[in-house]
Structure 1
């Protein structure tokens, strides 16, 4: 019986010791996990460093190998380049000089589709060397048509404000559901040549005196029956709107004149009516008119009439020429079209190809 009180005390000490041991084991396991984690990070970083180091060494070795090949064969390379340059300069002097000129046009009444199609048609005739058809299209001689090189068409450069304005007009024609799915960037990405309003036309020819004739031929080719019909429809609609607005304006002015005559008659009786009203203690009532509203309607109608007249005057042709072809073109000076650059580059490529082929051949012969 005397030993029973000591029993729970010993069990408490044992549980405390076991808890301390468990805590120590947990701390040691956490330290081991951290060490393993940091080791993994260190190994990963070391692998990345080794990869970039080996990549740099490989690129450097490849660069040195290329430089070595050039230095070893410098005499052959120099001879090839000098000969190629001489051939290139000779070809540049012998070849026919190409001239170009540019013009900006704004097609109206959907004539841009005919313009783009005609440019493709003219280029096809040039490739086929159909001088007879080209002579008829541009009213030039067969010899002059042989000098034609190419026609190019592209959308004219646009400012940010012009792009935003066109985007606003585009959004007005969409319904609310489609409008919510289209933003400015999507609009710009999906634009093509047919989306432009102004176009840059470029004519390239070997005859420096053809551009005025080419401009007349291009101008005639843009005119077409469909665009003429669209213009007539537009003019008819605008004339009807103009007549309706003029009738409305006459009615507004007539009503305004009536109100003014009423006000004039009332003004003549103002002194008598006011004296009589004051003597009898009565308040004189004036006729209520709406001359302010009529004036606002008159101004708005005049503005609409002015816009219609402006559109009839400014947009009265199938297309507008913002700028014309110059009488004499500009010498074409494009570096990648010069033989003195093309021939040496081509010679170096061929030399490198045969050098690599010869090296590979020797490797195959010596391989055991």
Structure 2
């Protein structure tokens, strides 16, 4: 029994030794594979550096020629200028605004300068300088949170359990936001102020929306006049109350006597003496409502509110890829590299065929 136990123990030791040798060879191969990758990358970098060093004059000449040609082309080509306008839409007019901007953009792409000049009130030569009209929602995270809170409060208890903020945010479209950024591109940097007035009128070119603005103004005027009338009546009531107070103060006090003044529908049913602070509080509330009406008259003055108009002149909106002084050197550098690569490949194939 002891001999069998010793043999079994020796067999287990041999198996473990072989296992460790296999693991060691695996790690050795792994490390050699990783090392071969770094060695290959090192050789590739050295080969490229050696290639560029031997032909540095060719590559330098290609870059210099590219820069010179790029500067010449840029000097003879028109620059592209841009400017932005920020607006706030009222009366659910965002759909109409987006459609009108898309129409103007299509006219600019089609180079229909005659129609653009008629719409924007500029000469056809100036309208031909317009290259594009763009619009996107101006998203403010705080404003979106307020929109979600207002929307969430209108939901019933069942809908609230499923309507998360992420789901609400995913359901929004560009036209659902109140503020928008409109961009105009042109090769004339001074045209933006010239088209601003007619451009804004074009954004709201819709009879229904225009009539809605007129009706809203009338309603606000009526509401303001009603508030003015209530304020005047409240002031008269306060003055009468003050006169009664003065007269009462001049009389000799009699126990159980006095003058009661009531507001209709307020304390009369309860038979309570009217406190003058109630009159003052009511007048303050009416003044607050009047200020709100005045604010609405300013905010809802038109279909769109121009939060920020076009600047006096535009600014260069070209990307680096639009500037030939950067593009041509890269192109010539790539062509030079491709030429030498083809020549090197040809020599390699020629040597292979001779073997």
So what's the TM-score if we normalise by structure 1? 0.69
* 1:193 correspondence with 2:174: yes
RMSD of aligned C-alpha atoms? 4.8
Assess if the C-alpha contact under 8 Å between 1:104 and 1:323 holds in 2: yes
Tell me by how many angstroms 1:91 deviates: 0.8
Match of 1:140 in 2: 122
Tell me by how many angstroms 1:350 deviates: 2.7
| CA distance in 1: counterparts of 2:123 and 2:294, whole angstroms | 43
Match of 1:97 in 2: 79
Aligned with residue 271 of structure 1, among 236, 241, 255 = 255
Structure having the higher Rg: 1
Aligned with residue 332 of structure 2, among 340, 347, 351 = 347
| CA distance in 2: counterparts of 1:295 and 1:113, whole angstroms | 46
Match of 1:155 in 2: 137
Tell me by how many angstroms 1:339 deviates: 0.8
Tell me by how many angstroms 1:136 deviates: 0.7
Assess if the C-alpha contact under 8 Å between 2:66 and 2:328 holds in 1: yes
| CA distance in 1: counterparts of 2:41 and 2:84, whole angstroms | 47
Tell me by how many angstroms 1:254 deviates: 11
Tell me by how many angstroms 1:84 deviates: 1.0
Tell me by how many angstroms 1:344 deviates: 0.9
Assess if the C-alpha contact under 8 Å between 1:259 and 1:289 holds in 2: no
Tell me by how many angstroms 1:126 deviates: 1.8
* 1:323 correspondence with 2:308: yes
| CA distance in 2: counterparts of 1:299 and 1:30, whole angstroms | 97
Q: Which stretch has the larger CA shift, 351-360 or 202-211?
A: 351-360
Change (3 A) 1:252 1:36: farther
Q: 1:136-186 CA deviation, whole Å, 9 max, x = no partner?
A: 11111121112222223233363x433433332343454544443444455
Aligned with residue 183 of structure 2, among 202, 218, 238 = 202
So what's the TM-score if we normalise by structure 2? 0.71
Aligned with residue 221 of structure 1, among 191, 198, 202 = 202
Q: Which stretch has the larger CA shift, 305-314 or 103-112?
A: 305-314
Aligned with residue 295 of structure 2, among 295, 298, 310 = 310
Match of 1:11 in 2: none
Aligned length: 337
Match of 1:60 in 2: 42
Assess if the C-alpha contact under 8 Å between 1:115 and 1:222 holds in 2: yes
| CA distance in 1: counterparts of 2:94 and 2:44, whole angstroms | 54
